[in-house]
Amino acid sequence: MEGITKEMGKMRMKDDRGAKALACALALLLLLMTAACALGEARDVSQACTFSGKPSSSLKYLTDGRYDTSWFSEGGKRAVLEIAVPEGELIGSVYVQFYRTACAFDVQTMDAEGAWQTAASCPTDYLTGYVQLPEGAQRVRIVPQPKNERLHIAQVHVFAQGEAPAWVQRWEAPLEKADLLVIAGHPDDELLFMGGTIPYYAGERRLDVQVAYLVPSMPYRKLELLDGLWLCGVTHYPTLGPFPDRYALSVKDLYGQKGWSEGTLLRFVTGLYRRHRPDVVVSHDVRGEYGHATHRAAADAALRCVELAADAAYQDKRLAYTEAWQVKKLYLHLYAEGEIDMDWRVPLEAFGGKTAFDMAQEAFAHHISQQKTDYRVEDFGDYDCSLFGLAFTCVGEDVEKTDFFEHVE
């Protein structure tokens, strides 16, 4: 009996130690959670910062809220942007939006001996780059990684410590296997004419959506399109084509202009299919909506390249992606056959009850440079963004006609 009593006492002691350990663990977890909550979303302190760099006359453009202005640094050792916050503040992260070309960069802080040391790096190929510092600092500087590069920046956002706001873009690489590929002629066409396609499939359905543009247009329009895509739930960086912005009313006239040719466009779109390997593709009206030749060319190439991309014999030394790929379905805006009327007015959980149509409108509002035009996202009239047709399928005709992915696993 005495032995049993001793064993029970040992068990109680073990239980007590276990309970204490569990209590300590829970207390630590609560402390960490409390600290995280206290830190919360990082405040944007950009307007309180002092910026230093050469030339100094255009530094004001870094925080003017516009994408059509920029600061272009001098070269060599002067290709540096220094940022300081007032006493009592600390810089926790930096978000850079480049104007024309991306540039990998280091964010440096000053050590105890007054020497600049790299605290974090951003090896970006994208027009936006976000860097979070391991520790807060009152002064930082941005330095291009290649020593012969110059910084060409449209906007800089400086944050105090905490989590970056949801609107800060942290892009992933373009998809090597996409569920859906949207091919647009220009920035904002993916919203005006494809309507709720991107917010519904990327944001609500959380499918892997890749967006490609034939004509990326002016530098500031690239930043606008990035804002719109990110808002709609796209996280993989878009593919930006090499074609110049030319207006023509016929595809023949378009191909006669500098920077355009039929062969170049077919290679590019075939490359899109082989690079991103989409199951479903959505693109423009064969009549170019209001007659725009770039839209017509996009639709024509989207259809013709389904066959080219699947043909292993179609090779070209200028075609970067050569492994054949079979697209399963292609939808074109306003296409007369296999008509499907998508309801973009259904409330979406991913956007707090807003509809895909609402999100397309909000995303279009991010295209600031286009707000004085007559273009609007509309699901009625001649350019109804909810009307599509099934231009190609190798998985059967649509029956339900409510989903681009009908019959696609």
DSSP per residue, 260-320: --HHHHHHHHHHHHHHH--SEEEE--TT-TTT-HHHHHHHHHHHHHHHHHH-TT---TT-S
Task: Express as a percent the part of the chain with pLDDT over 70.
Answer: 90
**Are the C-beta atoms of residues 273 and 329 closer than 8 Å to each other?**
no
Which DSSP category does 73 fall into?
-
The overall average pLDDT reported for the chain is 91
Least confident of 199-213, 312-326, 338-352: 312-326
- The model's pTM is 0.89
pLDDT at 272 (0 to 100): 97
Give 373's contacts (C-beta < 8 A, 6+ positions apart): none
Give 274's contacts (C-beta < 8 A, 6+ positions apart): 309, 319, 321, 322, 323, 324, 325
123-173 pLDDT, tens digit per residue, is 988 999 999 999 999 999 999 998 789 999 999 999 999 999 999 999 999
pLDDT band for position 31 (50/70/90)? very low
For β-strands 239-240 and 280-283, DSSP reports them as unpaired
Q: Left, alpha or beta for 233 (phi > 0: left; psi -120 to 50: alpha)?
A: left
pLDDT at 19 (0 to 100): 52
pLDDT band for position 249 (50/70/90)? confident
pLDDT at 39 (0 to 100): 56
d(CA 224, CA 102): 15
Residue 158, both tokens = 């400086």
For β-strands 152-159 and 91-98, DSSP reports them as antiparallel
d(CA 242, CA 318): 13
108-122 pLDDT, tens digit per residue, is 999 988 899 999 999
d(CA 38, CA 35): 5
**Are the C-beta atoms of residues 155 and 136 closer than 8 Å to each other?**
no
Task: Express as a percent the part of the chain with pLDDT over 90.
Answer: 85
Residue of higher predicted confidence among 21 and 153: 153
The arithmetic mean of pLDDT across residues 87-113, rounded, is 95
**Are the C-beta atoms of residues 132 and 108 closer than 8 Å to each other?**
no
Which DSSP category does 89 fall into?
-
pLDDT band for position 20 (50/70/90)? low
Which DSSP category does 175 fall into?
P
With a cut of 50, say whether residue 28 has pLDDT above it.
no
